[in-house]
Amino acid sequence: MIERHIECTLRQRLGAVVPAVVLFGPRQVGKTTLAALLTPPT
């Protein structure tokens, strides 16, 4: 898997008082994959 530099920042922000994070960008860059990695399984 590709290492994403923003993953660490997103984990910190999601653990803080930020109620939401927006992932946006061009197609096929791994937005859904990154979101799946950051969210706990349901």
Calculate the CA 11 to chain-centre distance: 7
Say if residues 34 and 4 touch (Cβ distance below 8 Å).
yes
Domain locations in the chain?
A: 6-38
- Ramachandran class of 25: left when φ > 0, alpha when ψ lies in -120 to 50, beta otherwise: left
Question: Which residues in the chain show pLDDT less than 70?
Answer: 1, 18
Do 2 and 30 meet the contact criterion of CB atoms below 8 Å apart? yes
Rg for the chain (alpha carbons), in Å? 11
Provide the whole-model pTM.
Answer: 0.60
